[in-house]
Amino acid sequence: MSAVTMLNAEQFAQSVEGGEGLTLVDFYADWCGPCKMIAPVLEDLAGEYDGKVTIVKLDADAHPDVLAKYGVRGLPTLMMFENGKPVGTRVGAQPASALKTFIGEHAS
């Protein structure tokens, strides 16, 4: 079972921007209530989509430069990357069904 991986800016550049395949990035903050609400949902989805989509987290407070680069203004922001390029975004806490639909739009 796969787990959600925490990244720093260097790891983000290597594995997301320089990566292949699909990666769902959760831009979050420790103080963000909705971010905490979706964390267990993302953990479940990481297992369900293991081998199809990699799910990672990036701390918004620690890496404001990355947020600025991608225009992230609200938390949580979930951004799907395909082969290093952003291809979709969802802002705010989403129910599991909505996240599955979002992932399915890109993972099919």
Residues known to be catalytic:
32, 35
Nearest to 80 by CA among 19, 25, 35: 25
Burial track 5-42 (b if 16+ CB lie within 10 A, e otherwise):
eebeeeebeebbbebeebbbbbbbeeebeebeebbebb
**Amino acid sitting at position 101:** T
Rounded to whole angstroms, how far apart are CA atoms 85 and 22? 9
